[in-house]
Every structure is written in C-alpha cells, then in structure tokens.
Structure 1
Amino acid sequence: MTDSAEFRLPASALPRTYRLALEPDLEALTFRGDVEIDLDLKAPSRDLVLHSVGLDIAEARSGADRLDVRVDAAKERITLVCPKPLPAGPATVSLRFSGKISEEMRGFYRSRYTRPDGTQRFMGTTQFEATSARRAFPCFDEPALKAVFTLTMTVPKDRQAISNMPVVSSDPLPDGRTRVRFAPSPVMSTYLLAFAVGEFDWIDGKTEDGMPVRVYATPGRAELGRFAMETAIRGLKFFGDYYGIPYQKALPKLDLLAIPDFEYGAMENWGAVTFRETAIFVDPQRSSIPQR
C-alpha cells in the first residue's frame, strides 16, 4: 500500500499570496498563464516543491534567478531548483505555464450549451475540490495551505469573466480581448478558488443591507434561477442572524452559477457557488413544491 504521506508537500514553505493571470482559448481548448507566489520559508532552501498536473512550465524564476524545473508526474508535483539557497523568510517565485482545458469536469474545463437560436457554444469553468487546482496553475494544493488569491483573466470581448471576488477593472485590449481584474480574495484554500468565462445572462437582487446576489446562466435561462436567488437572500439573513456573523463580513457578494456540465450537485466556492442546472433551476409553471 502506498503511504499517503509520500504525496504530501514538505512543510518548509508556506504560500501567502498568489497573483494569477490566465488567458483561455475555449475553441482551441488551451490556456496560458503566469503566477507569482509569495512564500514564507521556514529555513534556507534550494528546492521548492509544489503541485502541478498536465501543465507545461515554460519558465520559473525567483527574482533574477532562473530556476530548474523537475517534474514528478506520478506524485503530481514539480520541484523548483534554485542556483543558490533562498534564505529563510519571505520569498517570491514566478512561473509561466500553459495547459489544456479539460472536458472531464475537473480542473479548468469546458462545458457545452445550446443557445436559444440553436447554435452550440462553450463556457469555461472550474471544479477544484479536492485536488484539481493543480490542473489549472502550479500551486500548493493542500487545504491547509491557505493564501490570498488575486486573479486576472484575459477573455474575448464578447465573453464575461466571473470569479470569487468582484471585478475591479475591465480594460479593452488592442487585439479585441478584455483584461478583467478581480479584487483580492480572503485567505482560503486552493480548492475554493473558482472562475468562469462565457456569455452569461443574469438576474440580480440585494440583501437587506445592500449586498449584491446574482444568478448567472447560459443565454435565455437566468430567470429559472429566480427562486434560488430569493432563497439565497433569505438564507443569508437567517444564518447571519443565527450565528451572529454577517456573510458580508468575509465576502462582498454572492454569485450563483448554473453550469450545464457539472459533476456534482453544487460546489461551495466562496462568493461564486457553482451548481448543476437541475440543482438550481425552478420553472414556476412546472416545478412541484418538493422540487423547490
């Protein structure tokens, strides 16, 4: 029997912040990315071990030093080898990488849907629990290794990008794409990071104290999420009162995303909860009380 400890990362490095930039191509089923990771090193080290699955690492650096990359596919991790030991304390490593968008409903994957006019389109979305963030970007992909995530996505101008946090800027680029930057997340595990890119319709509401709640869906289907949105608004108030901890103390918004191809019923990504369509849609003309 394989010892599960063999697959755990060394305890010598603790991630603090990820600055992640992604450029997906949903037609080609590929993406490119860059990530900067701020770390705390417990002791001087030449080797940094983190998770990566199916990613091509084009370059890894720490400051001006280029790092060698050693791949251990069986253990789903890479080792960054520094030319000289990094001192104990704060450190930053940066990686440039590329990968393939999956169709297996894990990691960063593509979901198909049909528009009201009958044409087929694609959206990109994520499912990282329990250990699939490593399929989208190199990271310390264990739940205890929490950090802040700041995400930037570059997407076609006719698509939207959604993530855990609100958009802070959306800038058109000369090549016809849009660069979307999101606010930094709270400290959280890698498996709770989520993002989606596609053409979405939405409906929106607010809690009593003005926090936005939205349901996103493929074109023509957002209204089927109204019952879920209204239930979420009532639920946020109930649990905030019950526990004495307002939701917005940690997160500034709540998005509910209906995904056509989704393996589970739902996934509790902070601020951007994803659902199988059948788990969130209610047709007021046809749905029974038990279904609601």
Structure 2
Amino acid sequence: MLILGALLLLFSTAFAAQGALEISLPKSLYATKYDLTVNVFLPPVGAQIPDEDAFRQKASVLIDFTVKEPTRLIVLNADGITVKQNFLWNGRSNYSNLPVVEVKSVQKLYFEVPYILAVGETLQFYIEYTYKIRSVDDEALGLYRSTWVDENKVTHHIASTQFKTIHARKVVPCLDDPTFRSVWSLTVHAPKGYRVDANTQEYQTTNNAQTHRFFKTPSIPSYLLAFAVHDQAYIRTVSPGGFKNGFIGPHEKLRNCTAWFAFTGQMIDTLVDKFKVVKLPFDKMDFIHIGRMYKGAMENPGLITLEPSKFCNYDNQIVLSELIVTHEMLHQWFGNSVTPNGWENIIMSEGLVTYYQIRLLLKRNPNLTLLTTPSMVIALPSNTSIYTQPTSINEVMNVGNDAQYFKSAAIFHMMERMMGPAKRLYNVQRVSENI
C-alpha cells in the first residue's frame, strides 16, 4: 500500500488542482479489449418507477491490457462505480483483490499491482462492481432511464446510453479517453419482454430471453460504445442502392415515417457514392428513438440515438430532420471510423462533418441559402476559438459548440474555394487520415 499511500498524499497537495493531472491518463497500459457484462433493470410496461435504490446494478468487465511502460499501477476512469472485487492474471500467476484507491475529484481508480509490470507483458484484469442507472431528469448521461407514452396512454420505459464525452466511466471502469481505442464485447441482462440493441448485431439470446450477447465491435473509443433496453418496434428498410438500415421506435411513430425513411436511404446511397466505398463503415446503421438526451442526437456507430423531437419528425421540420440525419451519418466516417486523438481535436471531425453536411444539403436543395457556410459564420460570436485545449473534467464535458463547428466548416469551405473541389476532397481525406 506504500504506492497508494503516496498517491493519496499527492492528491492532497496543490498538484491535484492541475488540469493535466485531472483529465490525463498514464500511457503505461493500453486496453486492447473489454468484455463487459451489465445488468439493466427496468420496471414492467405500465408500472411505476420503484425506489431509486433499485437502479443500483451489478456489472463486470474483463480487460485485456498490453504494458507499454513499466508501472505498478492500473489507472482507470470511474464515476459512481463501487468496486466489489478484482482479479489480475498475467499468464503465470493470479492476484486477487488488488488494493484500490478512488480519487473522486479526478474520477479515477488506482489499483496497485504487487510487482513492476514489464513492457510487452499482457494482462487480464477482471472487476466486479456496481453502477447506477441514472434518471433523464437528473442527467441524461451514462446509462439513463426515460419513458414514453403510447397512444393508449400506457407508459413504457427505456434505458439508453450517452457516453460522449466522458460518461462511459459512469457504467464501466475504463480508459475513457479518445486516445485509447479498443474492441468491445457486450452482454446485457435485461427483464423478459424487453429488447436490447447495441452497436453490433445480437448473436445470442439465452436465459428465457433475458441475456443478450452481441458481436464484438471494431476498435472504438469508449465514448462510442452504445446500447439501449426498450420494448419498441423495429423496421428494417433498404436504400435504393441496396444498403440495409433500421429504425427503432414506437409503432405509432414508425407508421408515419415514410418520407423520413426515404430521405435516409437516399442519403446513405449519396454518401457511399461520394466516398467511393462499396459498404457502410459498420455492419449496420440503426436509428433509435430514446428519451431526452444531450444535444438531441448521437452518432454511435451502428446505433444512432435521437430524442423524441428529432426522431421521425420529417413532415414538421424537414430542414432540421435532414440536417440531423445527414450529420450523424457523416460521423460514421468522420469521428467513428476515423477518431480525433484528443478532445482538443474534436473540432476536426465536427468541422469536416458540418462542411459536408452543408455541401450535401445545398446540392439537394440550392434554395437553402441559410445553410451557406459564410452566412452562418457571420451570425456566430466572433470571439469563439475553433481550437480549445480542455484542462479540466468540466471543460471536456462541454467541449464543442455550434460556433466552433461552423467556423471549422468555413475553413474547409475556404480550402475548396482556393484549391477547387478535386484537390479539396483529396486534402480533406489526407487531413482526416491524420486526425
């Protein structure tokens, strides 16, 4: 416990107030894979929400690590996580219940290993813990619950994730930073009668339809992991070009989504053609209706989430619906397949997405002069920088805003004006490869 004791002393000094120490993670360990199992409790359809203590749930994660630098500490982000037990395997020996210290002010867990980990060593680290399903009225972050009411006035429950920017740590201890990309395997235990959707396809349902296992994801940062537990309907559609996509929502909403389905299919074909690819970047592209959420929509690969006012509202808000759908689909390439290597660079992906979003919609409807990049930038605050270097947890949570998005898009607009479309496309692709 000497190392952990010294660590506590460190955090009792002024060093704990330094921003870099607050948000950074050591580079000594790299997680190559997470095998996450979570219990997700929801009341039966039509039932009232029980006592808040019912939403404290059990979970476990098995993390595969590769050692990059010598260390005696395993450092993971965590927020509201209670560790019950842990085990470490190194291929030669097993270690049970490593000493652990939680420093809540920096949202980190520090586990002390009984020897110095060597460079190149591989480890498996297993943690059993509890986490809380939060309320949409409290904060729609991490895994949170919400409700919707059907045409017969029956209340339905949803539990869904919002991990961007740094809220995966509310559900799983992890390296919760875009610098680290990993493969994720997911198992969800949910009440009978509920459906579970995630980034990838479900490959097995067992335990009386209460245990759901999903194919592993490609290598993604923690903020892009997504899943939802619900009892909504699912409709599979096919774009004119033959690409499958799905829509998950209340029956009564899906019955009136024909125009929205059609636009989405057309835009999928447009993007596939524009980026000269023969398939989508992930094995599926589903859109799911969930409760009120942070910024209204989220580009999770394979499972794009939208709050009720943004889901299938095409007839009432055509321009807004097209903006949102196009934006989140573009992120499947810029931001998901190619991920910024730090929150200070997130504007690169958002700027590229906003630039292409405007360009594609203006080509579809040239009369939308409001969407021209110069006119939108003129209306934005002139003192907003397009580059920010967050130095605290609070700053990371609030990184990115419309002013930064559109000012960043204006840079790519200027590149196009200076170099022409062909050179501009080539250079944008080169830039994106280095995000």
Distance 1:151 1:254 in 2: 18
Residues 131, 141 of structure 1: 8 Å contact kept: yes
The one-letter amino acid of 2:221's match is: S
Specify the alignment match of 2:225 in structure 1: 193
| CA distance 1:33–1:253, change in 2 (3 Å) | same
Deviations 1:32-90 (A, max 9, x none): 11111111111332211010000111111112212122101000010111223333222
DSSP 3-state at the match of 2:196:
strand
Specify the alignment match of 2:150 in structure 1: 115
Q: TM-score, normalised by structure 2?
A: 0.62
DSSP 3-state at the match of 1:279:
coil
Out of 159, 177, 197, the residue aligned to residue 124 of structure 1 is 159
Distance 1:288 1:11 in 2: 46
Structure 1 or 2, whichever has the larger Rg, is 2
Specify the alignment match of 1:35 in structure 2: 61
Out of 277, 291, 312, the residue aligned to residue 281 of structure 1 is 312
Aligned length: 286
Distance 2:202 2:179 in 1: 27
Does 185-194 or 223-232 show the bigger shift?
A: 223-232
| CA distance 1:17–1:200, change in 2 (3 Å) | same
DSSP 3-state at the match of 1:156:
coil
Residues 71, 77 of structure 1: 8 Å contact kept: yes
Q: CA deviation at 1:251?
A: 1.0
Q: CA deviation at 1:22?
A: 0.7
The yes-or-no answer on 1:55 pairing with 2:87 is no
Return 5+ residue gaps in structure 2 as ranges.
Answer: 1-13, 44-53, 322-435
| CA distance 1:264–1:227, change in 2 (3 Å) | farther
| CA distance 1:59–1:241, change in 2 (3 Å) | same
Deviations 1:227-266 (A, max 9, x none): 3332222212111111113443x31111101113223221
| CA distance 1:161–1:288, change in 2 (3 Å) | closer
Does 43-52 or 187-196 show the bigger shift?
A: 43-52
Distance 1:288 1:10 in 2: 46
Residues 264, 275 of structure 1: 8 Å contact kept: no
Residues 214, 229 of structure 1: 8 Å contact kept: no
Distance 1:227 1:133 in 2: 34
DSSP 3-state at the match of 1:19:
strand
- Which residues of 2 match residues 82-121 of structure 1 at below 5 A? 82-89=113-120, 90-103=122-135, 104-121=139-156
Deviations 1:135-172 (A, max 9, x none): 0110000011011111111111200000000111111x
The one-letter amino acid of 1:75's match is: V
- Which residues of 2 match residues 121-270 of structure 1 at below 5 A? 121-171=156-206, 173=207, 176=208, 178-208=210-240, 210-248=242-280, 250-270=281-301
Q: Between Structure 1 and Structure 2, which shows a larger proportion of strand residues? A: 1
Q: Between Structure 1 and Structure 2, which shows a larger proportion of helix residues? A: 2
Distance 1:118 1:188 in 2: 39
Out of 14, 23, 35, the residue aligned to residue 39 of structure 2 is 23
Deviations 1:170-189 (A, max 9, x none): 11x1xx55211111111111
Distance 1:177 1:169 in 2: 9
DSSP 3-state at the match of 1:202:
strand
Q: CA deviation at 1:290?
A: 4.5
Distance 1:33 1:224 in 2: 38
| CA distance 1:209–1:47, change in 2 (3 Å) | same
Aligned-pair Cα RMSD in Å? 2.0
The yes-or-no answer on 1:74 pairing with 2:74 is no
Q: CA deviation at 1:218?
A: 3.2
| CA distance 1:238–1:9, change in 2 (3 Å) | same
Distance 1:242 1:50 in 2: 40
Identity level (%): 24
- Ranked by relative contact order (alpha carbons within 8 Å, sequence separation 6 or more), the top structure is 1
The one-letter amino acid of 2:247's match is: V
Return 5+ residue gaps in structure 1 as ranges.
Answer: none
Q: CA deviation at 1:281?
A: 1.7
Specify the alignment match of 2:95 in structure 1: 65
The one-letter amino acid of 2:216's match is: P
The one-letter amino acid of 1:165's match is: T
The one-letter amino acid of 1:99's match is: Y
The one-letter amino acid of 1:273's match is: I
Distance 2:78 2:273 in 1: 41
Residues 128, 192 of structure 1: 8 Å contact kept: yes
| CA distance 1:224–1:135, change in 2 (3 Å) | farther
Residues 27, 69 of structure 2: 8 Å contact kept: no
Distance 1:61 1:110 in 2: 31
Distance 1:32 1:62 in 2: 20
Distance 1:258 1:224 in 2: 14
DSSP 3-state at the match of 1:113:
strand
Does 215-224 or 40-49 show the bigger shift?
A: 215-224
Residues 236, 247 of structure 1: 8 Å contact kept: no
| CA distance 1:185–1:208, change in 2 (3 Å) | farther
